[in-house]
A and B are shown apart, each in its own frame.
Chain A
Amino acid sequence: ILNVEQSPQSLHVQEGDSTNFTCSFPSSNFYALHWYRWETAKSPEALFVMTLNGDEKKKGRISATLNTKEGYSYLYIKGSQPEDSATYLCASLGNNDMRFGAGTRLTVKP
């Protein structure tokens, strides 16, 4: 993988559903993987920064895992709420080079 790829591109879930999405990134020259939450008309807000293979981080109902050997990270949201609706961006930091995915746009319906 040469670029950072996120899937799915968009996702619609019902309130209360748990969901997850994927970020794939180049596994060579890897330094860190960032996840950001970007609400419409606001600035992207950092959720997690992970650096070590096997890292797992959690913030409330949101958690993320990291596999640097195979080059992927999962973001999980447990019991989605309408306020979780946003675009979730991941970015991979390599040799002084940070590359972003196109984001997963999550819509949580009440």
Chain B
Amino acid sequence: GAVVSQHPSWVICKSGTSVKIECRSLDFQATTMFWYRQFPKQSLMLMATSNEGSKATYEQGVEKDKFLINHASLTLSTLTVTSAHPEDSSFYICSARGRRWTGAHSPLHFGNGTRLTVT
């Protein structure tokens, strides 16, 4: 149980284009989804937290107009990298938490991640 599907696994796009990454919870309702970014040999950095039906909360230093997050349903959250540039090339991964898993004891359920390369 608690499967999170992230799509696409990898994407190559040209500078200036926008890229949408989807994160779906397949067998539970994800009330909260988290989006992370990881540079090589560095830790996962939280970009934003989204709760279903409300605006995402962005971490300091993350441009909300650049990284648009939508969590319109209990099973789907999307991250759109707008007007992508080479410096946006990175590994992006989502995780989700459902109603049954709240509190400090609850693990996160992750997607497989998306490798974005902007040329």
| Interface positions of A (Cβ within 8 A of B) | 3-4, 9, 31-32, 34, 36, 41-46, 49, 51, 89, 91, 93, 98-103
Contact = CB atoms under 8 A, between A and B. Distances in A.
A4 B46 CA distance: 13
Interface of B: 4, 6, 9, 34, 36, 41-46, 93, 95, 104-113
Given A43-B4, A43-B111, A43-B113, A89 B44 contact: yes
Contacts of B43: 3-4, 89, 99-103
Contact of B112 (A42, A93, A99): A42
A40 to B, nearest CB: 10
25 contacts: A3-B43, A4-B43, A9-B41, A32-B104, A36-B108, A41-B112, A42-B112, A43-B112, A44-B108, A45-B110, A49-B105, A49-B106, A89-B43, A91-B44, A91-B108, A93-B104, A98-B34, A98-B46, A99-B43, A99-B46, A100-B43, A100-B44, A101-B43, A102-B41, A102-B43
